[in-house]
Amino acid sequence: MNSVAINPALSGSKAVKPTCPVGIVAIGMYVPPRIVSNNEFVNVHLTPHEEAFFGTDPHFAENKRRVAENESAMEMAVKAAKNALEQYNIDPATIDLVLFTSSCKDLYRLAPPIANYVQTNVGAVNANSFNIDCGFNGWLPAVITGATFVSSGFYKRVLVVTGETIVSSMDSRESETLFMGDGAGAVVLEQVAEGDGMLSFHLMSKECESAAGVKVHGGVQFNSNEWKINPYLYVMPGSFERDIPALEKYIPHSIKESLKMLPMTTQEVDCYVFGQQFFGLNVIWSRELEVDYNKVHDTIWDYACMKCASIPVTLADAVQKGRIKKGDIVAFGDQGANWSISSAVFKWCI
């Protein structure tokens, strides 16, 4: 897709170079066992413009995602958190703070904070906990918030967790149903050696009412004709034509702002992990950054887009496969509609 002339800076927000080294010392993930491909969605209807854009993905018809059945976002988040703690031999009693973020909404638990549930169920008996709500772009702001608490000296060890049950929160007649999936991820943050951990970050935002969000309304459930009132993810009509040209620019701009603080070029990054919206955007973002796509680790064809859970699940997948190793420079970029954009650069330290 050809981009129009767009100012990539949503605001005058500046990138930040932390003064205290805080890194990810543990990472975990959980995805539900049920696998569903795009071919199994029976109600969706695409516009010609959407068909053309999705057609840039050679595997689009067979793309898979995980679908949660009889388990909530907070239950999956607990499983991801326990996976991180157990893999890296971290005693949950040493966690000082638990942060939870998610874009999906559960009408049965709008309060108290899901972070409290996660804290209790992982055994973080000495921790405080609260939610961070930044919509679809919740993960990196939550990680940056956790790192800030550590760098301040207020807390030594912070657990950041997310869980997404998005498939049940979609009207399956709409195009977005074909690039969403369910999953959960978690990381533990603490102070690390000088030169390791988070090297820089950048956040920017601006209200855009015409983009996507979550509203409580009626819609058709996944793989059936059942009508239900639910907090449904929605994308405003004409979003692909109107909003994607801007989205093509925002994340590369933010990543470049983060890299300027170091200073570092886009070519010096070993691995890029984006928010996994869909394959076509990943390709465009790598092109805007002037890097070969082999520097991008994606999980779109296996897990689809999990909103807040996409980056931690993709990161865990990259670490498991040896794609990211100790000492590598890793750049992250994510977006939320209306708009909220984030990026961060880490020197991987585990």
- In tens, the pLDDT along 119-178 reads 999 999 999 999 999 988 999 999 999 999 999 999 999 999 999 998 887 777 777 778
Task: Decide if 155 contacts 96 (C-beta within 8 A).
Answer: yes
- Domains by residue range for the chain, with CATH: 7-350 (3.40.47.10)
Answer with the residue of higher pLDDT: 98 or 208.
98
What is the structure's pLDDT at 179?
84
Q: Which of 4-8, 20-24, 25-29, 201-205 has the lowest mean pLDDT?
A: 4-8
What is the structure's pLDDT at 90?
98
Cis-peptide, bond into residue 245, ω within 30° of zero: no
State the burial class of residue 7 (Cβ atoms within 10 Å of its Cβ: 0-12, 13-18, 19+): exposed
Tell me which amino acid residue 11 is. S
Tell me which amino acid residue 78 is. V
Residue from 132, 115, 149 nearest 22 by CA: 149
What is the structure's pLDDT at 277?
84
Tell me which amino acid residue 350 is. I
- DSSP annotation of 199: E
What is the CB neighbour count within 10 angstroms for residue 322?
7
Distance CA 130, CA 101 (A): 9
Residues 6+ apart with CB under 8 A from 350: 23, 24, 25, 26, 27, 88, 319, 326
Band of the pLDDT at 230, cuts 50, 70, 90?
low
**Entry pTM:** 0.92
Band of the pLDDT at 221, cuts 50, 70, 90?
low
What is the structure's pLDDT at 208?
75
Helix (H, G, I), strand (E, B) or coil at 55: coil
Cis-peptide, bond into residue 237, ω within 30° of zero: no
What is the structure's pLDDT at 49?
77
pLDDT at 60 over 90: no
